[in-house]
Structure 1
Amino acid sequence: MKHKTLMNWSGGKDSALSLYHVLQHPTMDVTQLLTTVNEAYGRVSMHGVREELLDQQAQALGLPLVKLRLPETVSMEEYHHRMAETLTPLVASGITHSVFGDIFLEDLRQHREERLRPLGLTGVFPLWKRASLELLNEFWTNGFQTIVVSVNGDVLDKSFCGRVLDADFVKDLPSHIDPCGENGEFHTFVFDAPYFSEPIRFQIGETVEKTYHYTTAEGTAITTTYFFTDLVPPMPIQ
């Protein structure tokens, strides 16, 4: 018997490679994608990719997409509430497993599993504890292509944003940066994959800088800067 499975889809390389593995798993049946979207701007959370390009990914995959819309600033309490509201009907439809692209962040995996358990969902982590360079080589070997769309300006400069993630990109990274950006150093958009019916087409737009202010649970004020490169869908042919 196959398990009905939900893919937590960011549109980036880690979720894309995780899906690649799960689609080949004999007991997993991926029936749904789930993506969080900034409701104020209509863009993928943290990645800044336009919703239209996200929709094109789902269409190229041939899988239905559920969007969890979140305000630009959201408390963890509100996030968990909205996530539970979104997941509950999916569980009622028969979904039992939820796939993530996490690689080595122990606290993040533990947090996810703790939130899934009361809903009756089992977390699946196909990339867990694999070496980042090994994952990238598998990604490239299987024909995936991805572009960096978001960069944490506290650890990388603007020049890394808007570049295709290839061997040259990795070579240019500072030695302390994880090649997969697992610590949030950068985020990507996959525009070609072996399971896409066709590549996702776009033009590279401007790169903008945004500063965020937030307070940790311990009350510490944090300021973080991000760079976002806009990917612009092609104009429809008249």
Structure 2
Amino acid sequence: MSKPPFALTNAVLSWSGGKDSALCLHHALQNPNLRLTHLLTTLNEHYRRVAMHGVRAELLEAQAERIGLPLVPVWLPEMPSMEVYEQRMSEALGYLATQGISTTVFGDLHLQDLRAYREQQLARVGWQAEFPIWHKPAADVMREFIDLGFRAVVVCVNDQHLDQSFCGRELDEQFLRDLPAGVDPCGENGEYHSFVYDAPYFSQPIAIAPGEQVHRTYRPATDPDTANNDCYRNEPNPFSAGFWYQDLLLAEGHS
């Protein structure tokens, strides 16, 4: 039986803490057919940080508090297999299903393979996917993000595309003007990731302070030197992809 027109659908939003998920939430909140009830995030259980972004869990919790939605963390081991990833994600969706939720909202823009994977995995458990900013041009996404008053810091850059000087910078007009040719303005090819510390729907901004910058190297599972499963190294390696991370801290006296 099809849903009646304008029926409210309870939904969870896939939340990374960065610009795309933040703008996606803005659009989802404008949708009269959606009722956002939770945020869902994958985190590294060893480092207690957002997967890929390297942002501390407490900063993510500060975002959720200011948004006013409960955060559902999916804790993942270092370099999880697809089986482990899907098992833990299934457990999280099972919990959310008990809360009357059957839709996940994503901030994906252009990666068709990723969208197809998400839709297929959700369909297996009877869920649906929504993509509020799908196929919006990257320049338009960034223009809207800045014009709406979002504030963000770049917390991770892929050193195959951007040098260390881009890490830790404010995500603003000057940052976009300084991007080298060929780099997607939204970092859609993994060039950079960000942390949003203020948004139109935050109850108040998050006071942050910069920590240290570190360089980490990810070694794919096919690298024969990864027998000990330690995927972060400081030395160069021809099999590696390197990333600069800007650690962020909650400013003293703020939560």
The whole-number CA distance in structure 1 between the counterparts of 2:8 and 2:102 is 10
Aligned residue in 2 for 1:9: 15
**DSSP-derived class of the 1:215 partner:** coil
Structure 2 SS opposite 1:214: coil
Structure 1 residue 113 corresponds to structure 2 residue 113: no
Tell me the secondary structure at the aligned position of residue 133 of structure 2.
Answer: coil
2:38 alignment partner, SS class: strand
Instruction: Name the structure 1 match of 2:41.
Output: 35
- Between the two proteins, the alignment pairs up a number of residues equal to 233
Correspondence list, 1:1-238, <5 A: 1-215=7-221, 222-236=239-253
* Cα distance between partner residues in 2 of 1:125 and 1:222: 34
| Inter-partner Cα distance in structure 2 for 1:74 and 1:157 | 28
Please give the secondary structure, in 2, of the residue aligned with 1:73.
coil
Q: Distance in 2 between matches of 1:63 and 1:193?
A: 14
After superposition, give the CA deviation of every residue in 1:14-41 in whole Å (9 maximum; x if it has no partner). 0000000010101000000001111111
**Deviation beyond 4 Å, 4+ runs, structure 1:** none
What TM-score do the two structures reach when normalised by structure 1? Answer: 0.95
Deviation readout 1:157-212 (Å, 9 max, x if unpaired): 11110001111111111110100001111000001000000001111111100011
**Structure 1 letter corresponding to 2:140:** E
TM-score by length of 2: 0.89
TM-fit CA distance, 1:93:
2.0
CA deviation profile, 1:55-109 (whole Å, cap 9, x unmatched): 1000000100000001122111211111111111212321121011110011010
Q: Quick check: 1:91–1:120 contact (8 Å CA) kept in 2?
A: no
Name the aligned partner's letter for residue 195 of structure 1. Y
Asked if the contact 1:91–1:121 (Cα under 8 Å) also holds between the matched residues in 2, the reply is: no
What is the one-letter code of the residue matched to 1:225? G
Letter matched to residue 32 of structure 2: P
SS in 2 for 1:112: helix
3-state SS of paired residue (2:240): strand
Percent identity between the aligned chains? 50
Query: Structure 2: which 5+ runs fail to align?
Result: 1-6, 223-237
Deviation of 1:215 (Å):
3.0
Shift of 1:138: 0.7
Tell me which amino acid in the other structure corresponds to 1:207.
Answer: Q
Aligned residue for 1:109, secondary structure, equals helix
CA shift, 1:213, in A, is 0.7
Letter in 2 for 1:165: L
The structure with the larger Rg is 2
1:172 alignment partner AA: D
